[in-house]
Amino acid sequence: MQEIVLQTNNLTKKYKDFIALDHANITIHKGDIYGLIGRNGAGKTTLMKTITTLTTKTGGSFSLFGSEEELTESKRRIGCLIESPAFFDNLTAYQNLKYYSIQKGIVDEKQIAKVLKTVDLSKEKNKKFKKFSLGMKQRLGIALAILDNPDFIILDEPINGLDPIGIKEIRDTLKRLNEEEKITILISSHILSELYLIANHFCFIDKGRIIKDLSKEELDLECSKCIVIKTKDVKKGTVVLEKELSTTNYKVIDDTEIRLYDYLENSAKVNKTLLNNNIEVMGIYESGISLEDYFNSLIKDGDE
């Protein structure tokens, strides 16, 4: 069984009357790139701040690497970039990382050079932080997050304000860290299309509530174009699809729903074939939406 890196149980954070995080339940497994998606003010940063103890929880609980009690010890295994990257303006990139490496008790100075190389900042190591562009600041933030060779990194909107080239660089860096260093990543953004290219698990959050938690395959399934067939006899329906229409490109969703990914332009033929084989069709229609529309529909459903 895969190791659970982070698990929250009804995690709640209130600011007076405002509920910033409402009974949030998420589970992140080792090796995941877990995308947290939500509008500005949805609760993404609050969730991350609560996990990293930058703010106190009002209710619920969470565990890091299976431990609820020894959070300080568990936090040794995580690296973070919460909100915008913050460093000392008057220090260079190298000096800033040196400061944190002393703080974390890292003796080997090669580690600083290594993380600077990972985020492609080796050439700018002697440049003062105040002279850095936003992209360079974000990359230095990621360098700090991975300085201590963590098992789990938490990145809050690391692609915010970056140009397309900067976004690609961050994306490639994160994918490399996940694949080569086996680092589990929790990354938040309000740009679903960008997260889609990085993450393999998605969690939608709005008004502090988790409104959907699904894998990339499930998201693809939810969004891809298909013919939705509603019937009481799903089993017989699939037999007809295979025998009469020669397709296995379908998925049984539940006892009353089949999703067919072929014959997208000819739903009438599908309907006729099913009826001819005495299958009661309660409904048949085309479905499939863009990621943005899917996101919007989730938020709308949540509001309702």
Which residues sit at the interface with another protein, rule CB under 8 A? Answer: 49, 52-56, 72-73, 75-76, 78-80, 82-84, 86-91, 95, 98-100, 102-105, 144, 148, 154
- Residue 210 CA to residue 38 CA, distance in Å, equals 9
Q: Which is nearer to another protein, 16 or 278 (CB)?
A: 16
Closest approach, Cβ 257 to another protein, in A, equals: 44
Q: Which is nearer to another protein, 158 or 237 (CB)?
A: 158
- Residue 55 CA to residue 80 CA, distance in Å, equals 14
Closest approach, Cβ 54 to another protein, in A, equals: 4
Q: Which is nearer to another protein, 90 or 133 (CB)?
A: 90
Can you tell me whether residue 23 is helix, strand or coil? Answer: strand
C-alpha distances (whole Å) from 253 to each of 119, 121, 183, 257 are 42, 48, 33, 5
In degrees rounded to 5, what are phi and psi of residue 72? -60, -40
Q: Which is nearer to another protein, 100 or 294 (CB)?
A: 100
Closest approach, Cβ 34 to another protein, in A, equals: 17
- Residue 181 CA to residue 179 CA, distance in Å, equals 6
Q: Which is nearer to another protein, 76 or 127 (CB)?
A: 76
Closest approach, Cβ 145 to another protein, in A, equals: 9
Q: Which is nearer to another protein, 83 or 257 (CB)?
A: 83
Closest approach, Cβ 179 to another protein, in A, equals: 25
Closest approach, Cβ 77 to another protein, in A, equals: 8
| Beta strand extents in 17-120 (DSSP E only) | 18-24, 27-29, 33-37, 59-64, 78-81
Q: Which residues of 94-118 are buried (b: 16+ CB within 10 A; e: fewer)?
A: bbbbeeebeeeebeeeebbeebbeb
Q: Which is nearer to another protein, 80 or 234 (CB)?
A: 80
Q: Which is nearer to another protein, 88 or 285 (CB)?
A: 88
Residue 13 pairs with which residues in a beta bridge? Answer: 21
In degrees rounded to 5, what are phi and psi of residue 151? -90, -20
In degrees rounded to 5, what are phi and psi of residue 294? -65, -45
Closest approach, Cβ 87 to another protein, in A, equals: 6
DSSP state for residue 86 in the 8-state scheme: -
Asked if residue 137 lies in contact with residue 129, where contact means CB atoms within 8 angstroms, the answer is yes
Closest approach, Cβ 303 to another protein, in A, equals: 27
Q: How many CB atoms lie within 10 A of CB 223?
A: 18
Q: How many CB atoms lie within 10 A of CB 72?
A: 8
Asked if residue 135 lies in contact with residue 163, where contact means CB atoms within 8 angstroms, the answer is yes
49, two tokens:
């701040």
